[in-house]
Structure 1
């Protein structure tokens, strides 16, 4: 009842305290109150301009056309920033943060070549829109275009990683070893990336499983790392890692085989697949 009174009051007052913003996500729900549990009045398309009235606890009361209701603030951007600039990530992995400093939490990580919309730049931090979310990244890691030559270089590096890894086929599996003649699973991946790509990834499979950029099984590319839950019940706790080599195969230091082998990503391993991670730029 109180909410209905509030909406009626807002509808009648002058709009001098209102400001215009735009929607940053497809089909944003306009609700009767500031709660995801309340009824949806209608959905608003991405890019639509809305009039903002007050903001409260992460929600804004807005007027869209002739309808008033509540939307979640993080899907709104200032109208004056409507003309965003498209830029591309130019580093292997870039932290997408909730605020303009390294003290803010990480929303996600962006891989090299990812396209983002830059809203504004202040003190070497860029406020961007990515995947319908607004956050911040360091400006020095954004470029106006993709370096096609560098993309070719990435493909060449992936080929070298796979070739180098295959050269280690048959090397013995020894727990906690990291080469050059014996390996455990994460020691193998750590050794290959260190020697070919000159990238120092974390040492354990659990740590490697959150390094780089997430890749789904259907989007795996050669040289991506693939992770599995091979211990106990299938609860997605990473215990094994290998390097994807294409054609639904991966190379890894297998404890059950006692050596570095190539396996198919099917049956046992498909059933225990947790996620993929992209390390290359």
Structure 2
């Protein structure tokens, strides 16, 4: 039997569908695998042979929980069981509970308004910061106040620590972890921190270690957080460059800011190294910075 634990009862959810006139996609939760070759079991135990495996960063739909396992939907219409610690929640479907609710660029009322949603509009929640929810909006990350969001699965939503606090302890931990891999060779499309990485594979793998999911290409990672100015940079922020020739603002390279105007990245000729943003080349090619913590 699938259990939802602390989650809202199925009876209540069905009633909410009727009130808000939304489809059953409201209850959808997606997660990504944190490792390669993650076993999928036929039941909530590991006493029999695994029925499938998941690749690292492979996305699945969670349909319930049972003990220490998430219950996931398989492509053949059946269910599988995965140990919870091996999956990270990526998004939870929700709905707006108010009309003319502002969607904002950051989790505060001082920033730009990107648009509005009305009661019953579908939302895709990807994180949380205090009283604010991070959502997907027109293909980008945005924020909505939690007073106007209803999601069955608040227990799953990842807290975005860096958004809620000025403390940068997490960013410093990320930098120290990233420095362990200085000297790792560059490998196109590589995501292995010891055998070889490309620039976005490096940032993705480092952040994944701390439960922060990033998109794969650097151009997509540039939309995975909140844009900040160069003057606001803190340890753990992502910095992006246009290294394709003339700087037209097209993202083609990414690194992690380490402090003191320096950043760590996977250079195509020298592997994982630290460079300064004050170097002429990186002054010319710099495009933007993004905070994902």
TM-score by length of 1: 0.50
Structure of higher CA gyration radius: 1
